[in-house]
Amino acid sequence: MHPGSLFRKITCVVVLGVLAISAFTLVAARNMTRQGYIETMNYSNRQIMAMVQAKMEAMNDRITDVELTINNSWAFSQYLKTEPENPRTFTLVYDMIKQLDTVKPDTFYDVAVVGLNEQSYVSNQSSLSISVKELLGSRITQEAREHPNRILYRYVPQGITKNSKGSSAFIALKALASPGSQAVYGFVYVVMTQRDLQAFFDNLGNSTNNLMLLDESGTVVSSPNHSLVGQKDEELKQIIRDMDSHKENSRYTTLQNKPVLMLTRTMPRWNLHIVSAFDYIRALNEMQGSAYILLVCLAVTALVLAAVFIFISQITRPINKLVHTMDKVTEKGLPDHVEVIQGGYEVQQLSKAFHIMIEHLNRYMRQLIELEREKRRMEIHTLQMQINPHFIYNTLTSIKWLIWQKDSEKAIRSIDTFSMLLHSTIGGSRSLIPASEEVENLKNYIFLQKIRFGQQIQANIYLSPSASGCQIPKLLLQPFLENSFF
């Protein structure tokens, strides 16, 4: 195939176009897929956070019921106000447990009740892991004393019950005061261990999505990523504050030099933020759809290129056939007939035009050849008619002179020779005669010239036997002989 052929040019242009479109489509599909994946994960994380919030709000209602029941319980009030040696202590404890069971589920967090009289009670057959004095003097207890009408949620590095010992905990606490009075007589603590807090997440976190419960100090209260629990992140705290000030619940930002999609939900009752730090770059790198998209694009591109190659081949095959036919004309000359090539409309029109052109050229060449032949015939005929009239006149005069001299034999021979010469040159329809016959004409011509000039005319004629049959025009040699005489 010629390097500059139409097939190669069209194929190169189409292949480059298909590859460019495929590359653009691949990039666009990859970007759309990545963006769609991020949006899907964003929506999924929002749903997860909504589920966590719903669970925690429901638990807040239960905790509120428990603490309000204790606050309004006569048994708890008497137990925390009387001296430890009160003989009714056993009865009070029984009533306390009975009232608590009416609002507390069978499986519930440790509930610790501590009075200023240093009396204490812990549910779930547990006990305090620190002394009552230490607990009453703790920071969280002092905060509850300052806000007696509120339920406070506070993070502590160590639990205050034996069941929560050795683990950080999140405590819902409230100061206990008599109805209509601000006098505090005790405190109630609902202790949630990390295991309890993890139940809110229900294993919903993963390596690319860090779910966290963040308090107002920037401390991570709980997270499926245990390494984050208890850490205080000032950068994260500042991001959440800035989002709150701008009333944003999502933002693309940077956390610890990593680009993340930050989502947040505020839980005022718990004094917490549910935070999702989605590492979308890592998620996109781990996404397995990119290889699938690449394979699909490559497969589609290969199929399209194959189809385009076949289609272009079908289109250009008739054109190549026409070009091949033209090449034959260039190499071998005009053929007698050119077949009309079947193909597209344009190819058929070109083929028909080429066919008509060949026919016209052949007709013109035949006419030209015939005209040339006719011209040559006319030239020969003219040449034949160019016998010198003086030769005829002089020959007849010589014959007359022989008759006058009464040389009858020579006169008769001269008349016969002259008659044969005239018959050969003027008579007959043949334009070509054998070389042997032309030689006889020359001999007759020489004989007639000798009648006039006598022995002044000397000529020797030699004809090769192999050339005696060659066809030559009549009187072809006579002009040369005549010119040699005169």
For the stretch 7-53, pLDDT in tens is 677 778 878 888 888 788 777 777 777 777 778 888 888 888 888 88
How many angstroms separate the CA atoms of 338 and 414, rounded?
62
How many angstroms separate the CA atoms of 240 and 251, rounded?
10
List, for residues 391-445, the tens digit of each pLDDT value.
677 777 877 877 887 777 888 888 888 888 777 766 656 777 888 888 888 888 8
How many angstroms separate the CA atoms of 394 and 479, rounded?
17
Q: Is residue 37 part of a domain?
A: no
Q: Is residue 280 part of a domain?
A: yes
Residues in the chain: 486
The structure tokens listed for 460 are: 């020797």
List, for residues 210-223, the tens digit of each pLDDT value.
888 999 888 999 98
Neighbours of 346 (CB within 10 A): 11
Q: Is residue 292 part of a domain?
A: no
Single residue among 253, 286, 319 that ends a domain in this structure:
286
Run of H or E including 449: helix 435-453
Q: Say if residues 424 and 474 touch (Cβ distance below 8 Å).
A: yes
Q: Say if residues 73 and 102 touch (Cβ distance below 8 Å).
A: no
Q: Is residue 366 part of a domain?
A: no
List, for residues 316-340, the tens digit of each pLDDT value.
777 777 666 666 666 666 665 556 5
How far the first Cα of the chain sits from its last, in Å, is 68
Domain count, the chain: 2
Q: Is residue 416 part of a domain?
A: yes
The structure tokens listed for 267 are: 């839980």
Angstrom distances, CA of residue 52 to CA of 106, 168, 327: 22, 20, 82
The structure tokens listed for 415 are: 């008349």
For residue 211, the 8-state DSSP code is E
CATH assignment of the domain containing 241: 3.30.450.20
Average confidence (pLDDT) over 125-148 = 91
Neighbours of 478 (CB within 10 A): 21
What is the residue range of 247's domain?
A: 205-286
* Res 293 pLDDT > 90: no
Of 140-154, 167-181, 283-297, the range with the lowest mean pLDDT is: 283-297
pLDDT-derived band at 461, boundaries 50, 70, 90: confident
Single residue among 261, 286, 311 that ends a domain in this structure:
286
Single residue among 257, 286, 315 that ends a domain in this structure:
286
Confidence (pTM) = 0.58
* Res 202 pLDDT > 90: no
How many angstroms separate the CA atoms of 344 and 314, rounded?
10
Instruction: Look over the chain and give the mean of its residue pLDDT values, rounded to a whole number.
Output: 80
How many angstroms separate the CA atoms of 412 and 325, rounded?
69
Cross-strand partners of 174: 188
Average confidence (pLDDT) over 90-107 = 69
Q: Is residue 452 part of a domain?
A: yes
Neighbours of 239 (CB within 10 A): 21
How many angstroms separate the CA atoms of 246 and 277, rounded?
18
Characterize the bridge pairing of strands 184-193 and 258-267. unpaired
How many angstroms separate the CA atoms of 362 and 374, rounded?
18
In sequence order, which ranges of 271-344 are alpha helices (DSSP H)?
280-286, 289-332
pLDDT-derived band at 160, boundaries 50, 70, 90: very high
Q: Is residue 265 part of a domain?
A: yes
The structure tokens listed for 326 are: 């033209």
Angstrom distances, CA of residue 249 to CA of 41, 212, 218, 241, 243: 15, 15, 17, 11, 7
How many angstroms separate the CA atoms of 357 and 311, rounded?
30
Sign of the Cα torsion 468, 469, 470, 474 reads: positive
Q: For residue 56, which of 158, 170, 141 has the smallest C-alpha distance?
A: 170
Average confidence (pLDDT) over 307-313 = 79
Residue in the structure block whose two tokens are 């956070």: 49
% the chain with pLDDT above 90 = 14
Query: In 305-401, where do the E strands start and end?
Result: none
In sequence order, which ranges of 73-112 are alpha helices (DSSP H)?
74-81, 89-103
Q: Is residue 305 part of a domain?
A: no
Q: For residue 120, which of 51, 191, 43 has the smallest C-alpha distance?
A: 191
The structure tokens listed for 199 are: 């139940």
